[in-house]
Amino acid sequence: MFETLKTVFHDAFTENDGKSYCIAKITAFLAVVSYLGNISYVIYLSHTIDPSAFGTGLGVVLGGAGVLIAGKQMATGSA
């Protein structure tokens, strides 16, 4: 099971060569994990939830990561 997860994460976060890691993919993943952690912590503490305050920054990070990934793929010629 752990070998399967290791393979999935390796394939998801590496470039087409399978050796170098893509910082944009890792940043997007960590942004989503931190967003979910932040919302879960706020719900746990029973405070008012304002997802737009943190969600705006999350949208910018994910948008930038998408542009970077697409730009790198167009530059290398891989789809």
- H helix runs in the chain, sequence order: 2-13, 23-45, 51-76
- Asked if 61 and 26 count as a contact pair (C-beta separation under 8 A), the reply is no
Q: How many domains does the chain have?
A: 1
Rg of the chain on CA atoms, in Å: 16
Tell me the per-residue pLDDT of 32-64, one tens digit each, with 9 for 90 and over.
888 888 888 888 887 777 777 778 878 888 888
27 part of a folded domain:
yes
Quote the CA–CA distance of 68 and 65 in Å, as a whole number. 5
28 part of a folded domain:
yes
Quote the CA–CA distance of 45 and 40 in Å, as a whole number. 9
Quote the CA–CA distance of 69 and 15 in Å, as a whole number. 10
- pLDDT at position 78 is 63
What domain range includes position 23? Answer: 11-70
